[in-house]
A and B are shown apart, each in its own frame.
Chain A
């Protein structure tokens, strides 16, 4: 599903945020991405989303070199990926419902069908009763879950999450991870960047460890 071929990424010409990354993620796999702050986890995910382009090597998704995508194709490519952002990226002037509905609106999904899917996604993250609230009225953890609902509302084939449990208490973190595992179980490829080593170790999935932009460990689940 995802293949990094000797990928390097420099910001501003000098600083090497990622160096010589070479790995593959199979379709339907669930992978954790760890590393210290600044190790390059977000950068790696941004490469997959084509928010950044590699300065070296190739990133292939579903067999296609995404650097070769024409700019007009990029939006359609992004619609195939569900992303949970480190900083939520919610719209603060819209209700929870409309935030989650945004990807469907962009794709022109019929409103009734969209509403059904939005409610299903909100139900999964346990926020169905807050659908009319504005993001500002929600706690950080709840906002994070809205972000997750928005990422999965489209039933994407590939799910990327950048610190999805960053603001959650241990119980909620575990619940959210279970949610990701559910998606993994129905065939979604899932890639999660996280600091939460305790949780990662407990969940026993393949783990990629970054250090200063290099892949220092690629451990299959025991």
Chain B
């Protein structure tokens, strides 16, 4: 006997329009949303513990992800500053050097050039090392003039090919390109990404387990209620609903706590990190989560909580048979 094949009297008394059924459904959602929130507040400490466990599981991957994200920004900045240095042969005069610079600037794929004369090179060198005294004692400037080239496309392969081409120009002694560290950084970033992905998956599973365990206890506590409502015609969806909302609330609470922990952590670490970066001459600040990041984190945590509840309740519903 399906819904439409109800016994005659039943069909009359149970007729409901689609609209009223939809309103009833919404009403139940609202009621369960509030009811599950109320149940969390009945045991504030227990709920807080669960949320804290979720928050802890979320903080590590979220924090690492933020760090990596800002490292990516740094990476992009570094790529911008990826340059080739063409050292000119000794004995090339300044006029000759300027001509060479113009030739290089006209090459395809060159975004900009800057000529560093031997004297300027010396000055920069002294400033960077603070060795003015020692170098002053040298009679002759040992540094060659150089042309700093900023390539249009900073990807390592292109830059390497360009270096080879430019090296064949007359008057160029040596081409120096320091790409190794850039590449290393890039590999490191890729590695970091994978590690964070793996951690994210693992800790996400952790959240599922935490929520699942809490919800499992809730299901056990309300076993009799589940049996009774099943006896009188509750659908699985109806039975699941309050637990799904509980799971979502746990997730949301955990997410909020995680956001809070990230803010605290940033405050805690930002002064020493900025100081450390400054000592390397870099201008690096610890990244903040921001509105978008917080929204993503909260959405993920809520979804995880909901999913954890769904898996657990579905697994347990199969085992609950009304007596």
Contact = CB atoms under 8 A, between A and B. Distances in A.
Interface of A: 1, 27, 49, 51, 61-64, 66, 69, 72-73, 75-80, 83, 85, 89-93, 102-103, 105-111, 150, 154-158, 187-189
22 contacts: A27-B7, A27-B8, A62-B1, A62-B7, A63-B5, A69-B2, A72-B236, A73-B2, A73-B3, A76-B3, A77-B1, A80-B1, A85-B231, A102-B229, A106-B229, A106-B232, A106-B234, A108-B16, A109-B24, A150-B232, A155-B13, A156-B10
Contact of A157 (B3, B7, B322): B7
Contact of A108 (B9, B28, B236): B28
A74 to B, nearest CB: 8
Q: Is the interface of A mostly helix, strand, loop or mixed?
A: loop
Given A64-B1, A80-B1, A108-B28, A157 B232 contact: no
A80 B229 contact: no
Given A92-B224, A108-B23, A108-B28, 20 more contacts: A62-B7, A63-B1, A63-B5, A64-B5, A73-B1, A75-B234, A76-B2, A78-B233, A79-B233, A80-B7, A85-B231, A91-B224, A105-B28, A106-B232, A107-B16, A107-B233, A108-B16, A109-B24, A110-B20, A157-B7
A83 B23 contact: no
A158 to B, nearest CB: 7
Nearest to B234: A106
Closest 4 pairs between A and B when the two form their complex, measured CB to CB: A108-B24, A79-B233, A157-B7, A157-B10
Nearest to B227: A89
Consensus secondary structure, chain B interface: helix
B25 interface: yes
Contacts of A85: 231
Interface in B212-266: 224-225, 227-236, 238
Given A80-B1, A108-B28, A111-B27, A1 B7 contact: yes
B74 interface: no
Given A62-B1, A62-B6, A156-B10, A76 B233 contact: yes
B30 to A, nearest CB: 11
Nearest to A74: B233
Nearest to A72: B235
Contact of B232 (A62, A102, A111): A102
Contact of B231 (A61, A83, A154, A157): A83
B56 to A, nearest CB: 33
B313 to A, nearest CB: 16
A154 B109 CA distance: 81
Contact of B1 (A69, A108, A110): A69
A108 B18 CA distance: 11
B231 A108 contact: no
A142 to B, nearest CB: 18
The winner among B23, B234, B238 for most chain A CB atoms within 10 A is: B234
A219 to B, nearest CB: 25
Contacts of B10: 80, 156-158
A113 to B, nearest CB: 9
Nearest to A107: B24
A63 B7 CA distance: 9
A121 B208 CA distance: 44
A106 B233 contact: yes
A62 B11 CA distance: 12
B27 A108 contact: yes
Nearest to B321: A51
B21 interface: yes
Given A108-B21, A157-B8, A157-B9, A79 B1 contact: no
Contacts of A92: 224
B5 A51 contact: no
Contact of A158 (B7, B14, B227): B7
